[in-house]
Amino acid sequence: MNTLLSSPILDGLSSVFEPSTLLCLVIGVLVGMLVGVFPGVTATMAIALASGFTLTLGPIQGLAVMITIYVSAQYGDRIPAILVNTPGTPSSISSTFDGYPLAKSGKAGIALTSSAFGTAVGLICGTLVLAIGGIPLARLAMHFGPAEVFGLVVFGLTMMVGVSTGRIWKGVASGAFGLFLATVGRDPITSVSRYTFGINELNSGVSFIAVIIGLFGVAEVINQILTYRKSTGVAPILQLGRWFPDKQTMKQLVKPVLIGSATGSAMGLVPAVGGDIAGITGWENARRASKNKKLFGKGSIEGLTAGDTSSAAVLGGSITTTMALGVPGDSVMAVMIGSMLIWGIQPGPSLFANQPDLVWAIVTIMALATLITLVLNLFRMKSMIKLLELPKPYLWVIILIFCMVGTFAIGNSVFDVMQMLVFGLIGTFMIRFGFPPGPAVLGLVLGPLAESNLRRAVLIDGWASIYTSPIAVTLISIALLVVLWPLLRNAVALFPGQRNRAATPTGLDS
C-alpha cells in the first residue's frame, strides 16, 4: 500500500476496493440470496461449504465471500418467512409472527420492503458497533460467565408471555414443551442420554432446523390442505398493497427500528446468542413499547420490522465478540473461525491491536454487502411475489418438497426429514387447538443455555454463584418484575376509584 496512506482505516478500505475483492463480494451476495430463500439451507451451512473453496484465496477475498453470504442470507430468509410462513433460516423466525399475517391480508409488498429496510438499518447498526465499540464492548461481554448468562436467559424466557399473542397459558404450555424438547439427547453436564428411546440419532438432540421448518412451514401447509375447499381451488391473486411505506408508516417505523437495532446489537455481543433469539427479543421489546400491542402477532408492521432489524443487528455484535474474544458469537462465526486460523488471522483481544486494518476491511465489506443486497432485493422482490400467484396446490408441493430436500441436506440424514414431518403434524395440532408455536421455539433455543449454565454455575460455587453476581441478580429481578407487573397493575386497578382505568388483560384469557 501507499506509505502516505498508512492509517488502518484507509488500508482497510483500499484492500476491499480491489477488483478481485469486489468480484468475491458479488459471488457472496448471489450465493447468500439463494441460501436465504431456501428453507433448511442455513447461512452456517453455506459458509461451511464455502470455506472449502475460499481457503485458496487471500484473507480479505475469503472474508468477503463469507461475510457477504452471511449478510445477504439475512435478507433472503425473510422472504419465505413472510410469503409462506417458513423461515428461510432460523434468524427469520420472528418474521413469521407478523410478516405472514401481513401477506395474508394483502400487504406483502409493504411487509417485504419494510423488512428489507429494517434489515439494512440493523446491519449498519451492528457494523457501527464493530467499528466504534469493538474492544470496550467485548470487554463487557467478558463479565458474562455461566451465572450471568443464566440470568440473561431467564429474562429471555419471560418473552414467552409476549410471544403467546394473548393465549398466555397455552403459550406457557407450548414453551414448556419447547424446553422439554431441548432436553432430548445427551445431558450437557453428565452426558447421560435423556428421552432418546434407544434411537441413536436422538443422542444429538432434536434437529432445531427440522423443528422450525416443521412447526412453521409444514404445519401451515398441512392446515391449508386440511381446510381446502374445491370451490376456492384457485387462490385469488393477492393484492400486494403499496410497495413503499408512506410518510406516516415511516414515522411509525422509527421506534421499532431503533428498538430492534439496540436489542440486536447488544445481544450479538453475548457469545452463542444468534439472530433467532435476537429477532424474537426485538419483536417482544417493540411490542412492550408499542401503542398497538394487540396488533402484534396478527400483522403488525412494527413487529415485523423490529424483529428483522434486531436479528440483522446481531451480525455486527457477533463478529465483534468473535474477533475480540476468540469465542464464536454464533454458529456462523464458529465456522468462520476455522477459516480465519488457516489465513493466519488469530481472533482474540490482540487482533484489534495488531491488525486494525483487517477490522476496518471487515467493516467495509459488511457495509458494502448491506447496500448491494438492499438494492438487489428491492428490485427482485416483485418477482418473488409472483410465487404467491401460483394456485395453492403448486405452492404446497414446492414448500413440502423443498423443505424435505433442504432438511435432508443439513446432515445427509433421513431421520431429520422424519422429524420435520412429525413436527409438521405436531404444529398442525397446535394451530388447530390454539397453541402458539413461538414459545415452543423460544424454549427450544433458550432451554439448553438455561439448563447448562445454571448447572455449571451451581457446580462452580453452589447457588452462591448466582446470588452473588450483581448482573445475574439484576437480570432475574427484571424478569420477575416483567412477569408480575401486569398482575400488580390489575390488582391496583381493582381498588375503588381506579375502576375507570382501562385494565389490561392478564393471564386470565386462555
Partner 1 sequence: MNKLYKAGIAAVAVMLALSGCSSAQGEAGGGGDAAPEFPTKDIRLVVPWAPGGTGDLTARTMQPLLEEELGVKVIVENMPGANGSIAYYWLADQKPDGYSLSLIGAEVSTLQYLDYDLQPSDYAAVAQATQSPGAVAVPVDSPFETIGDLIEYSKENPGKLTFGNPGPGSIWDATGNGLMDETGVKWTSVPFDGEAPSIQAAVQKDVDFVIAPIATIKPRLDEGLLRVLATLTDEPALDGVPTAKQEGIELSNASFIAVAAPKGTPEDVLQILSDAIGKATESDEFVKVLEKQNIQPKHRNPQELAKFLQEEADRYGVWIR
Partner 2 sequence: MRSRHEHDTGSRGMAPPSSSLGEGQAEATLVEDLVDGASISEAVHALERPGNRIRDLVPAAVSITVGIAISLGSLQINARGGQSGDFGPSFWPQTTALICIVAGAVVLLQVLLLRHRPIEYPERMTWRGGLNVLATIVLLFAYAQSFRQLPFWTTTFVASVVLLYLFGIRSWKGLLLFPAIITAILHFLFAVALRVPL
| Choices 120-128, 261-269, 373-381, 396-404; region in contact with partner 2 by CB under 8 A | 396-404
C-alpha cell at 152: 440473561
Interface with partner 1 includes 460 (CB under 8 A)? Answer: yes
Q: Name the binder of 498 from partner 1, partner 2, none, CB < 5-8 A by kind.
A: none
Interface with partner 1 includes 356 (CB under 8 A)? Answer: no
**Minimum separation from the CB atom of position 205 to partner 2 (A):** 13
Distance CA 176, CA 189 (A): 21
Q: Name the binder of 24 from partner 2, partner 1, none, CB < 5-8 A by kind.
A: partner 1
Interface with partner 1 includes 201 (CB under 8 A)? Answer: yes
Interface with partner 1 includes 52 (CB under 8 A)? Answer: yes
From 482, 472, 502, 430, select the one nearest 162 (Cα to Cα).
482
Q: Which of 51, 127, 310, 318 is in the footprint of partner 1 by CB under 8 A?
A: 51
From 32, 53, 51, 52, select the one nearest 43 (Cα to Cα).
32
Q: Give just the sign of the alpha carbon dihedral 284, 286, 288, 292.
A: negative
Alpha helices of 215-246 — where are they, by DSSP H? 219-226
* Beta carbons within 8 Å of 457's beta carbon, 6+ residues apart: 145, 146, 147, 150, 465, 466
Q: Name the binder of 382 from partner 1, partner 2, none, CB < 5-8 A by kind.
A: none
Question: Which of 410/440 has CB closer to partner 1?
Answer: 410
**Minimum separation from the CB atom of position 9 to partner 2 (A):** 37
Positions 170 through 199 that interact with partner 1 (CB under 8 A): 186-193
Interface with partner 2 includes 191 (CB under 8 A)? Answer: yes
Distance CA 120, CA 309 (A): 7
Q: Name the binder of 146 from partner 1, partner 2, none, CB < 5-8 A by kind.
A: partner 1
Q: Name the binder of 170 from partner 2, partner 1, none, CB < 5-8 A by kind.
A: partner 2
Binding mask 196-235 for partner 2 (x = CB under 8 A): --------------------------xxxxxxxxxxxx--
Strands 185-186 and 193-194: antiparallel
269 to each of 148, 377, 429, 459, how far by Cα in Å? 14, 27, 37, 25
Helices (H) and strands (E) in the chain, counts: 24, 2
From 457, 480, 485, select the one nearest 155 (Cα to Cα).
480
Q: Which residues pair with 186 in a beta bridge?
A: 193
Interface with partner 2 includes 425 (CB under 8 A)? Answer: yes
Q: 318 by DSSP, 3-state: which? A: helix
Instruction: Find out whether 322 and 134 touch, Cβ atoms under 8 Å.
Output: no
Positions 41 through 60 that interact with partner 2 (CB under 8 A): 41, 49
Q: Name the binder of 66 from partner 1, partner 2, none, CB < 5-8 A by kind.
A: none
Q: Give just the sign of the alpha carbon dihedral 152, 157, 160, 163.
A: positive
Q: Which of 13, 158, 289, 349 is in the footprint of partner 1 by CB under 8 A?
A: 349
Positions 96 through 155 that interact with partner 1 (CB under 8 A): 142-143, 145-146
Question: Which of 190/500 has CB closer to partner 2?
Answer: 190
For the chain, report the end-to-end CA distance as a whole number of angstroms. 66
**Rounded CA Rg of the chain:** 23
Distance of CA 448 to the CA centre of its chain: 17
Distance CA 134, CA 142 (A): 13
Question: Which of 154/457 has CB closer to partner 1?
Answer: 457
Ramachandran category for residue 81: left, alpha or beta (phi over 0 → left; psi -120 to 50 → alpha): alpha
Question: Which of 104/194 has CB closer to partner 1?
Answer: 194
Interface with partner 1 includes 508 (CB under 8 A)? Answer: no
C-alpha cell at 251: 414515522
Binding mask 326-365 for partner 2 (x = CB under 8 A): ----------------------------------------
Interface with partner 2 includes 435 (CB under 8 A)? Answer: yes
From 197, 208, 292, select the one nearest 249 (Cα to Cα).
292
Q: Name the binder of 225 from partner 2, partner 1, none, CB < 5-8 A by kind.
A: partner 2
| Choices 51-59, 392-400, 430-438, 487-495; region in contact with partner 1 by CB under 8 A | 51-59
Q: Name the binder of 56 from partner 1, partner 2, none, CB < 5-8 A by kind.
A: partner 1
Q: Which of 47, 82, 116, 213 is in the footprint of partner 1 by CB under 8 A?
A: 47
Which residues of this chain interact with partner 1, rule CB under 8 A? 18-21, 23-24, 27, 44-45, 47-49, 51-58, 61, 142-143, 145-146, 186-193, 200-204, 271-272, 325-328, 334-339, 341-344, 346-350, 411-413, 452, 456, 459-460
